[in-house]
Amino acid sequence: MAELVRLEHVGDIGVIIIDHPPVNALSVAVRERLVAAVRALAQAPGLRAGVLACDGRTFIAGADIREFDAPPGGTTTHDVCEALDHSPKPIVAAMFGTALGGGLEVALACHARVIAPEGVVGFPEVRIGLLPGAGGTQRLPRVTGALVALEMITSGRHVPAAEALATGIVDEVATDVRDAAMIRARALADAARLPRIRDLPLPPVNRAAFDAALGAITHKARGAVAPAEAARCVAMALDTDFDEALQQEHAAFQVLRTGAQSKALRHMFAADRAAAKGRDAQPWPVRHVGIVGGGTMGSGIAIAMADAGLEVTLVEVGDAAMQAAEARIRTVYDRQAKSGRLSAAAHAARLAHLSFATDVAALRDTDLVIEAIIENIDAKQDVFRRLSTVVRRDTILASNTSYLNIDLLADVVDNPERVLGLHFFSPAHVMRLLEIVRAGRTAPQVLATALALAKRIRKQPVVAGICDGFIGNRIFSVWRKQCDYALEDGALPHEVDAALEQFGMAMGPYAVGDLAGLDIGWAQRKRLAATRDALERYVPIADWICEEGHFGQKTGRGYYLHQDSKRVVDPEVTALVERASAERGLRRKPISAVHIQTRVLAAMVNEGAKILAEGIAARPSDIDVVLVHGYGFPSWRGGPMHTADAHGLGAILNVVRSMFAESGAGWQPAPLLEELVASNRDFASLNRLG
């Protein structure tokens, strides 16, 4: 086995090489050996300078996340940075691949930095509820300026090499980073220079603009503590001694590391990886994708595919619809180009990947076809029948259905093993979640292909079984009912939305409904009306709103009035809510935010337990992934199942029993939830996140 860290002599330059596959993570063993190598370099009489490099496919990609759950101890990343900072000989970082988190902190502690053209840097710690804890919040502002550092650290975004050079993070972009780093290290030694970022003065900053940015970060965080703490640490660079600021940064890091939010976000990190993990089967190649239906969803899917470099053919029912779909897609790309997010060359390349047609015969040579038409089983079956006569027998056929039974679509094609669901979320080119719905006869290779495709188009996949609404919409339907009950009992739509946004949801359900279009849910309720339990409490408010032709933002009215891009309380909706209470014979009373939040969480968890027992979801963490990435559940709470564990399943079960006593049918406690409480276990015990 190769050494984790070794020091090689290349003439008068010492090259410290980290070799810790797959991503050269800064494990405690790597840190210990790295400090030892820096000291050995300092003591070697024949070496005048050093280069910090990595073998494999990347520079240091960050810390070993598994160590955050262990008690702190041993050599820290701060110790590594101190050793580099105080080296009597200049050391230059040779960066390529990803230099993230602790990897970027180590590079910033070197005396210069060279990066490969395709390299990226960043501080993604906020995504797991942390902040850079080894001087990152203090060194970065000294090279980029405080405002740029504030944005980078609190967003966690990856910064490409060109931007890293322009902002001063690196000193040079070079194809052969080791050779360029050795040349630069030798030049520093020749000049007897030891430039240290810690000694640089902070570039001038507009304090008013900085303070405004701080306030915006706190508002956008929606209860997440890491961005606000990271911002506070960056602010210390403006007026706090470097060493004192380092101590405060480290203390803040330790508080976050042991806090509930970071544990929840680390759970989500592991959950995302587990959900996306490929199956044993080999995926089929996908180069050309067909899409049937060019509405909002179909156009968004086409954009997602073209962005990934896939050839896309979109089919619509006629010339007018085809031209509308093309215009819809062009508008998105034109907007991206105008904002500077897309270069002229990239804009042209994206459009070159797209073609449009009015006949499914144009899909003859596709590898995958995604149907994205109206949510009607007869219409979808007709599309699948026609596709079955046109495409190759190994072409995968997928439906973007939100609710319908995929097996009924597989029934009408000649090779049902190639059929599955690909449930995108709107807007499809923006939202990360992709529910991959495994039909009863879906071949393992087809499922593996869908997972590989999700990775290629940068989606977060979750495999689901077949039931009405799959994982996400099935759970959404039950917790939305609790919100509707709150309306009848005494709340108003804006009060329910405010309660859930206070909980950390990205948007409340009524604001989301107006955004998505209330007619979609109305069609679903009418489809299920014949199968609804007559004893189940049913709230008709949404139906009444739709009967008036008010479908949300697109009609200017829904649960809210929409005026000048603002939501305004609609007195007519208030009257409908009060009418519903009166018709049920309920005396309206104030409903607290905590009551709404508690019932919504309990509804999610109880239905999630039923989904697990039925095998619709493979593990509780998959439910967390769906609700966080598709439905705005706060990631810093770790999803509903993780949150339930934190609250205590006994307390959740008591709320469910209370809901059942009040509302009856549909709210029976899930046997799995009762079993876990009785055996003193939690949902985490059912996860397999290795």
Percent of the chain with pLDDT over 90: 91
**Annotation says 3 is catalytic:** no
**Which of 3, 8, 125, 311 is the catalytic position?**
125
pLDDT confidence band for 1 (50 / 70 / 90): very low
Domain definitions of the chain by residue range: 5-258, 288-464, 472-686
H or E stretch covering 50: strand 49-54
Residues 320-361: tens digit of each pLDDT = 999 999 999 999 999 999 999 999 999 999 999 999 999 999
Q: Which among 75, 71, 80, 142 has a CA at the least distance from the CA of 105?
A: 80
The 10 Å Cβ neighbour count of residue 115 is 30
The Cβ-side half-sphere exposure at 181, using a 13 Å CA radius, reads: 32
Quick one: average pLDDT of 238-264? 96
Q: Outline where 353-443 has alpha helix (H).
A: 377-388, 406-410
pLDDT confidence band for 689 (50 / 70 / 90): low
User: Which are the contacts of 274, defined by CB distance < 8 A and separation ≥ 6?
Assistant: 619, 621, 622, 687, 688, 689, 690
Percent of the chain with pLDDT over 70: 99
The 10 Å Cβ neighbour count of residue 166 is 13
H or E stretch covering 252: helix 242-257
* Position 2 pLDDT exceeds 70: no
CB 35 within 8 A of CB 75: yes
**Which of 3, 8, 67, 105 is the catalytic position?**
105
CB 136 within 8 A of CB 104: yes
Identical fold for domains 5-258 and 288-464, yes or no, is no
What is the rounded CA–CA span in Å between residue 88 and residue 392? Answer: 67
Residue 89: the pLDDT is 98
Residues 44-54: tens digit of each pLDDT = 999 999 999 99
User: Which are the contacts of 565, defined by CB distance < 8 A and separation ≥ 6?
Assistant: none
Residues 192-249: tens digit of each pLDDT = 999 999 999 999 999 999 999 999 998 888 889 999 999 999 999 999 999 999 999 9
Give me the CATH code for the 5-258 domain, please. Answer: 3.90.226.10
CB 510 within 8 A of CB 518: no
Residues 76-100: tens digit of each pLDDT = 999 999 999 999 999 999 999 999 9
Distance, C-alpha 256 to centroid of its chain: 20
pTM equals 0.92
Secondary-structure percent of the chain, ordered helix, strand, coil, rounded to 5: 55, 15, 35
Residue 222: the pLDDT is 84
- CATH superfamily of the 288-464 domain: NAD(P)-binding Rossmann-like Domain (3.40.50.720)
Return the CATH architecture of domain 472-686: Orthogonal Bundle (1.10)
* Position 445 pLDDT exceeds 70: yes
Residue 593: the pLDDT is 97
Beta strand spans in 320-425 (E): 354-357, 368-371, 396-399, 419-424
Residue 17 φ then ψ, to 5°: -115, 125
**Annotation says 105 is catalytic:** yes
Quick one: average pLDDT of 296-320? 97
